[in-house]
Structure 1
Amino acid sequence: MTRTVYLNGDYLPEDQAKVSIFDRAFLMADGVYEVTSVLDGKLIDFGGHATRLQRSLDELELRAPCDMDTLLDIHRELVRLNDITDGLIYLQITRGAPGDRDFVFPDPETTEPTIVLFTQSKPGLADSPAARTGIKIISIEDQRWGRRDIKTVQLLYPSMGKMMAKKAGADDAWMVEDGFVTEGTSNNAYIVKGNKIITRALSHDILHGITRAAVLRFAKEAQMEVEERNFSIDEAKAADEAFITSASSFVMPVVEIDGVLLGDGTPGRRSLRLREIYLEESRKTAV
């Protein structure tokens, strides 16, 4: 079945959706994106994603093509049209296609932003086999630009990081800057020592994860201590547990870092409990 996608106000078969070669996302990576999970036909934490999207747009002085209520309607219509039970909705907004290439931003009065949304069906998204076995990660140098808090489409280095991990026989990579872990290639990073969850504090250095915010809130409600500070790879290797969070992986246990097993090499109790709590509570508030 051909997917129906959304492009600049129209719902179209995916093979009929076309974007100009002069679109600034194509030429300059001048755009932002969000990925929202769908479970049981409903959107997970849409409000958080909408708020972060607006922040990213504001940071780049990029005009929103519609209000957030309309955006919610578009998401819901794509879920309906593509009969999505479990999956993802990808949203991208760019500065548009001014008709030629120029480093200077085009006049927003004459160049409309481009908005694209499409679905990805992922049956059993919340029942990932990897969550039962845990994932292996490697550490790599963080070579991204300095404004990682803006969710831009500049994803080449994270993609390269994924490939480094794959070539090393691992599942993902944690990036390290000045001796400390920043985040994963597409996720936030955490370690657990005793009853304490440790993760890097929010700044320009990392993405302000929507799942991160929810998980830390749930952790505190479950009487787990949360400490937001830098940690090194060596500290991570000596941790009792580790995990990552993202909109598509939820809470995913990490069982090996640079070839060193954490604990007995199986997903940690707290990591699994946080995944369980996150999925349970997020389904309650899904729209």
Structure 2
Amino acid sequence: MKSKMIIGSILTLTLLSTNINTYAFAQEGEELRSAELLIQEKFDKTELEAHDAVISMQNNGMTDEEILNWAHTMQEGTSEQYAQAAREKMQEQQLNESESENENENSFIQPRAASPAIGSKGNIIIDARQGSNSSSNSYWSVGHTALVSKNPEYTIESFAMDWSPKGRIVGGEQKTGPEMYHNRWGGKKDVYLLKVKGKTADKSEGAYKYARAQVDANKPYSYQFLNKRRTSHFYCSSLVWRAWLEQGIDVDYITIDTVVTPMEILKSNNTIIL
């Protein structure tokens, strides 16, 4: 008898929970439902997980329109979309910035065709190519992000096991997450070099040290793309974003959500295309 009562209670709670969720979904506007469908598609989430993500954004103060715009931004990842975003940003830079602001960085633009290494300490590299990187034929759908190391011949990047360009072995076992790589981004098509606005020598050093500390700590790769604030694991853009956030500069584009992508770092108000 007790077991039947317990089973009956579980069924009642399940039905009640289902009815509450169904009611919540029914109360949503068309914009939120569209956003949830985009989240499900992009991040391979269930309907309920996508719904919870939207609720979290609402709790952070985002409007329905802002959430939908964010979801559409998450869909941006082709080389053509990156190129369009870069063109728009560079046009804006030409209108709003004097030539003198970038004159100290010009030396890092010229070596692209002649040298495999680009950038200086703390600069950000965005790879918009689909299905390849500097060392392998890895695949990702929204681009890739790297931070130029203290020695500009190297970068700090976070890869998942299957996407790692060198299948590295550490202590006899494969390792994922933040790692040091040779800087071979120069002369590559659909690769963008960014300077962080407000960067100083101290802040660049701080960003490098933070990212390097994650390498030394053997932090694993993060598959929780909806949680950029996670510091026990890192995906490529969350590592670069966090390294600069620790210096007081947010290089995300939509700053009040829980995701940061390479496209958002490219479009950020706190980065400059070199």
**Structure with more of its chain in strand, by fraction:** 1
Do they superpose with TM above 0.5? no
Q: Where on the TM-score scale, by shorter chain, does this alignment land: which range?
A: under 0.3
TM-score normalised by L of structure 1: 0.25
Larger radius of gyration: 2
